[in-house]
Structure 1
């Protein structure tokens, strides 16, 4: 069921868009209202999550360390595995964000007959993970040409480089293939690997199906339903959305609305899902903190402001009770006034 529900949800989103745009007047709703709402949810949710993480206190120094930390001068430090200053932390973060260093170092443990436990390198996850993420980045950059006029040089350069092989007509972009391959591997890994399949939930499969739906509808528009798609009308709508002067024409096909609706669903879902690791990696204390707990004192922000209570103050507060219970005190009770002594005698 954890496969069927996410898949059915994506199919339902496609059908809602395909059927909804057939209703007169609903093209404006799917082409203008939904994109604005999705972008507002994406920006608002993204900023809220980052702000919430940023203000969360970190009670302990908890950087991930997998190597020799800074110690005596004649002991070699592993500066990436146990960084002790800001520049080393930045270097480790850079490799993690742009090269997925932790996935490259990934190993798998396997028990063979004997029993014998072995640790083996597992680079497939790193390869297809980086393949998917960079393909998705290139696709996003390529699509910027739809929102800009004139098209910036960087966007044109990326587009030319992506179609460098010049396969087919229209030219096939390399990232169209690598994006789908990366998604299929990440999905297949959750099916084939019993350990990953056991811990996978519906919310792990839904973004995969959603991204596959976005990629599939985009490929359909470019290679199979090209005659039904008016690229000029789509660009007019895209530029209008950016300039807050959207224009809907009857030339826009239903498959484009399905593609756009899936993209909007992805944007709206993004801040509330595990996809937020894109922003969360910058806020992770296990990565962005230096391993300098013995050099710099880390103040726990959760510690309350405790006022010290000396023993002399404690005795002043409870001296009478302590004497009554026979507990020795450093100071006796002060002599009572003469009037109080006469009243007690009477």
Structure 2
């Protein structure tokens, strides 16, 4: 097996065992149920703010949007107002489609050589990555929002509606939430793509596999607690409400599986600001996406340009006039 994904897999497994053994064997419920969650949330919030603040402070004096359509030009040439926007409205529509529909990923193509005598390079439409990414992100969002029922009392109506729609199929007892299996399957798809696609595997590092294994572990333990093992939901609700209200409470009937699940969630939150997962915040601050391409209509001058001593042509000619005349070069002034 490749060490680039074997090491992250082992790390996630050991992290789960650490929490499970710490609770079941050493009675460290306070550590894994109170201390670590608070530290993880603090690391997430502080790290997220620092990262976004650093990006926001990065100067972008010129318009550098990436485009794939016709720029605004002559009146009789049709402009692509979404892929090459020249106004703030066009940028807003572009960002909206990029954030909620992954528009640029939808145009993703796959390059490969034909396995025949001609051996030509061909490009084919690859929609599976787009579908997998959409399924992953929206399932993750639904799961995250659904879990707010553990942190609110009473549960907001919008969360109840979302929970109803997520379990509308009414399969089994307890009812099946679609987002859970979809999240697990979508993450497994993204992981298998990194492992079995030679080009993607070649550029993937251990840091690319670690969050995937973390999310798989979180989804798997969550599904196990809901459908295959019995957990004290009331005790978990009391515990989470205690965390939110800063009155920590450790229930007695909650086992190591829940604490292992919670510990993996805490690791994901703490790891988030220093990982590629920060594209969640970075997409809003990307100058290649959030800027209008209006360089033909408006001149953009670097605001911190300092005065540079220049040597004009007149000064140049005054300095070399005699030599220029001697060489037969034209000059503006004879003297």
- TM (norm. structure 1) is 0.87
Distance 1:258 1:110, change over 3 A: same
Q: Give the match for residue 331 of structure 2.
A: none
Following TM superposition, by how much is the alpha carbon of 1:305 offset from its aligned partner in structure 2, in angstroms?
Answer: 1.9
Following TM superposition, by how much is the alpha carbon of 1:295 offset from its aligned partner in structure 2, in angstroms?
Answer: 1.6
Structure 2 residue 197 is the aligned partner of structure 1 residue 193 = yes
What does residue range 18-37 of structure 1 map to in structure 2 within 5 Å?
18-22=20-24, 26-37=28-39
126, 142, 155: which one aligns with 1:122? 126
Q: Give the match for residue 215 of structure 1.
A: 219
91, 94, 98: which one aligns with 1:92? 94
Which structure has the greater CA radius of gyration? 1
Count of aligned residue pairs for this structure pair: 315
Following TM superposition, by how much is the alpha carbon of 1:59 offset from its aligned partner in structure 2, in angstroms?
Answer: 4.3
What does residue range 113-152 of structure 1 map to in structure 2 within 5 Å?
113=116, 114-152=118-156
RMSD of the TM alignment (CA)? 2.1
What does residue range 158-237 of structure 1 map to in structure 2 within 5 Å?
158-226=162-230, 229-237=231-239
Following TM superposition, by how much is the alpha carbon of 1:60 offset from its aligned partner in structure 2, in angstroms?
Answer: 3.2
Following TM superposition, by how much is the alpha carbon of 1:299 offset from its aligned partner in structure 2, in angstroms?
Answer: 2.6
- 1:98-136 superposed Cα distances (whole Å, 9 cap, x missing partner): 001111111112221313222111000000110010001
What does residue range 249-268 of structure 1 map to in structure 2 within 5 Å?
249-268=251-270
5, 10, 13: which one aligns with 1:11? 13
Q: Give the match for residue 305 of structure 1.
A: 306
Following TM superposition, by how much is the alpha carbon of 1:3 offset from its aligned partner in structure 2, in angstroms?
Answer: 1.2
- TM (norm. structure 2) is 0.90
Q: Give the match for residue 325 of structure 2.
A: none
Of 54-63 and 176-185, deviating more is 54-63
Runs of 5+ in structure 2 lacking a partner? Answer: 320-335
Following TM superposition, by how much is the alpha carbon of 1:308 offset from its aligned partner in structure 2, in angstroms?
Answer: 4.4
- Aligned partners of 1:289 and 1:300: how far apart in 2? 16
Other structure's SS at 1:3 match: helix
Other structure's SS at 1:288 match: coil
- Aligned partners of 2:182 and 2:225: how far apart in 1? 18
Following TM superposition, by how much is the alpha carbon of 1:209 offset from its aligned partner in structure 2, in angstroms?
Answer: 0.2
- 1:67-101 superposed Cα distances (whole Å, 9 cap, x missing partner): 10101111100011110010100100000000011
What does residue range 48-67 of structure 1 map to in structure 2 within 5 Å?
48-67=50-69
